[in-house]
Chains A and B, each alone.
Chain A
């Protein structure tokens, strides 16, 4: 039996608007994943530490403040340093179209803008994580 996909949902930065983070955490849990919600104001260092401890397959960041261009590069660098390159990183929130290609180039697996259905996000995660697992074996 395959184990459930493990997802860390995190709110980096100073912003406290956690509606989106909480809704997506519940949705992924209802879709059968194991979800760890870090709570507010986590530094990239703290988030990577949680991902390591929890053996996460996925990190989901919720960023509404416009700080994504600072937070995402730092997080990706830290993941590489810890040998966690295989963790899928997705970002949801207020991300202007112009920033999406830059985030994807960094290695962010998916960027979800306002209005994205929860189901689309959980299907995306399932397909990406399953795909990489079958590729590894």
Chain B
């Protein structure tokens, strides 16, 4: 592979270890001007770590970073920015309490008489926003804008400087199809201006649409660098997960759809909460996987929170095992054998500063009460069991949850609830933002659990997934339950039911 322009970024032999984790081992990476380069790999493959090494958040233990042929060592994101490397992270990393203009220009704001020149700042911000085709008031406060717009403001900040390298770390995970198209349009404009763009996304369609070249990582090591046009999807996936695609297909077989006729475990009668979800009826049987389908904001999470008692219902009742259960809060739900795996795993699910072991034991100890401590032996055997059952990596029970990748954190969260042996497991977006391998494992686990008699309420934005593993699908629209389909349904049938324009739009601009 001989290239005419020299690479703008070259990373050689990068290694970096965290306590208990070898995040990167001898990784090489090149980035050329005027290209969109996708960094591919499962969760925990080291993508984010590599990016943070480039942008000065982490300092590598060994290896060198060359920017335009010169060796550099950034010790802070600020230095990397000054050198022309700008980053937009998955979560919008801006200050929501400041104005749009400040978020774009703070740190390099125009000055007059020693103070900030606000009129000039707003004008400059408006210019930058106009360059990427966004028209919002630069003087407005950032938090008044939806997340998608905030994401574009983050990009505006990134390109407001003379930016040679733009790093986009999963910028599309919170955007809808139209917004993604807008982002891609902006990316193409910047690429044609000669900016080198490093792009990370879990959506293969997007990667194939926008990228020119890709680098694949697995378990902190380099698998290879390829031109996008020369690597087809199947090969890419097998490079990423390092095993045959059989895993995904295996689930298909395992989840042989069966209509479950066991006793009704949980029954909701006219359960509802004003402003959250209209009163609905729902039966969940033991050993059944009930899928919840609907668009974002259709009331999926709200329904789940009512079942778990996280929000109080203002109408209807919940019957567990034939007896009405008065849910005073999550504690009474847990006591009744209901577990809720939140979609916000960082905010609501895990204690990031504790080890995997402690996180697993937390829920069980809470269920047993403080007076009956769990013995070390029981702990160890439980932790061992779930580490292997869920293939949590690293398989080190003392690793801090904070250091794990998103997919592995999700598995720990799942394991934490499984430890309490729930009868109804509510999973809210358990596979969001995690890679194919982990996704397959989690789906597999859901199927296994159901086979063992656990009832599962499975919430996901990905219809394909819901259709694949659910025995019954409940469709929500505008905070109403509108239909119930049996497992044999196709995606098209579900899509038909969901109002609006649910078919994923062509992302092409």
Report if A and B associate in a common complex.
no
Instruction: Report which A residues bind B (CB closer than 8 A).
Output: none
